[in-house]
Amino acid sequence: MRIRQFAAAIALGAAALTLSACATTLNTKVTRYQAMPAPQGQTFFVVPEGPMAAQGGLEFQRYAGIVAQQLQARGYTPAASPDGATMVVQLGYNIDHGQVRVVSDPFGPYGYGYPGYFGGGSFFYPRFGRWGSPFYYGWNDPFWYGGGVDSYVEYHSELDVHIRAHGTNQPLFDGRAQARSETSRLDVVLPALVEAMFTGFPGQNGETVKITIPTHPRTATR
């Protein structure tokens, strides 16, 4: 009995740490194809792409500004208009309406992980997945735990950046950053996706990498 209680205490502590991390980070998957020239005075202008970004307005201007800051930090210069730029940056983004996910009681009917406290029970299967699985490392992290049957809403978000040479439309960069989160707030998710996209920019041609980015603490509802 003491062993079981001790194991349950360890599990609760680990779950609390997981919750704390999930509240302030976003796990992303970034795919990049690139033939970017080294910065030598090239200029750029960010334009909307896709239904959500194409609505324009102050929302798009905010995220276009974040992308522009990232490019400026890497030696490229913003232009006043697309016609005056040597590179056109197409920015698109989207977040879905969310899907309800249901997970079983992490402790099961017989306490922590019965049978076999560290490998046979429901705390690791199906809640956190097996060692070495994407679920265990956070890509499908459910963010919450408790007795009985739990449910949470999972949102899928995506950021697309395409850079083309002005005039010739030659592709210079194609990037996509994706994430799953428990919030649908663009002001939380998109800045983190932009940071992930430009981490190690322009990256290796054809690479897909997983990047964890800090986010601002959430103080409002979804």
Q: In which band, very low, low, confident or very high, does the pLDDT at 113 lie, cut at 50, 70 and 90?
A: very low
- The verdict on residue 209 lying in a domain is no
Nearest to 202 by CA among 166, 162, 158: 162
pLDDT computed for residue 133 by the predictor? 38
Task: Indicate if 124 and 163 belong to the same structural domain.
Answer: no
Task: Indicate if 191 and 128 belong to the same structural domain.
Answer: no
Asked whether residue 165 carries a pLDDT value surpassing 70, the answer given is yes
Asked whether residue 12 carries a pLDDT value surpassing 60, the answer given is no
First-residue to last-residue Cα distance in the chain: 41
Task: Indicate if 55 and 159 belong to the same structural domain.
Answer: yes
Task: Indicate if 81 and 169 belong to the same structural domain.
Answer: yes
Task: Indicate if 130 and 38 belong to the same structural domain.
Answer: no
For the chain, what is the mean pLDDT?
76
Q: How far is CA 187 from CA 62, 78, 166, 209, in A?
A: 9, 23, 30, 23
Residue with the bigger pLDDT between 142 and 193: it is 193
- The verdict on residue 220 lying in a domain is no
Would you give the DSSP letter of residue 205? Answer: T
Task: Indicate if 166 and 133 belong to the same structural domain.
Answer: no
**Residue pointed to by tokens 């202008």:** 45
Task: Indicate if 75 and 157 belong to the same structural domain.
Answer: yes
Nearest to 213 by CA among 53, 22, 32: 22
For CA atoms 142, 16, 24, 121, the dihedral sign is: negative
Size of the chain, expressed as the number of residues it contains: 222
- The verdict on residue 171 lying in a domain is yes
* Number of domains present in the structure of the chain: 2
- Interval 61-88 mean pLDDT: 97
Task: Indicate if 129 and 179 belong to the same structural domain.
Answer: no
Which two three-digit tokens encode residue 204? 């290796």
- The verdict on residue 193 lying in a domain is yes
The model's pLDDT over 13-60, given as tens digits with 9 standing for 90+, comes to: 443 333 334 458 899 999 999 999 999 999 999 999 988 888 878 999
- The verdict on residue 178 lying in a domain is yes
Residue with the bigger pLDDT between 30 and 110: it is 30
Task: Indicate if 140 and 162 belong to the same structural domain.
Answer: no
Give dist(CA 30, CA 19) in Å, integer: 23
Q: How far is CA 127 from CA 106, 109, 120, in A?
A: 6, 15, 12
Task: Indicate if 91 and 163 belong to the same structural domain.
Answer: yes
Asked whether residue 176 carries a pLDDT value surpassing 70, the answer given is yes
Number of alpha carbons in the 13 Å side-chain half-sphere of residue 23: 12
Nearest to 64 by CA among 56, 197, 203, 158: 56
- The verdict on residue 212 lying in a domain is no
Number of alpha carbons in the 13 Å side-chain half-sphere of residue 111: 14
- The verdict on residue 118 lying in a domain is yes
pLDDT computed for residue 51 by the predictor? 87
Give dist(CA 192, CA 194) in Å, integer: 5
Residue with the bigger pLDDT between 98 and 114: it is 98
Task: Indicate if 182 and 198 belong to the same structural domain.
Answer: yes
Q: In which band, very low, low, confident or very high, does the pLDDT at 216 lie, cut at 50, 70 and 90?
A: low
- The verdict on residue 215 lying in a domain is no
Q: What is the CA radius of gyration of the chain?
A: 21
Which two three-digit tokens encode residue 73? 């930090």
Give dist(CA 140, CA 163) in Å, integer: 30
The range of the structural domain enclosing residue 50 comes to 31-98+153-203
Task: Indicate if 138 and 52 belong to the same structural domain.
Answer: no
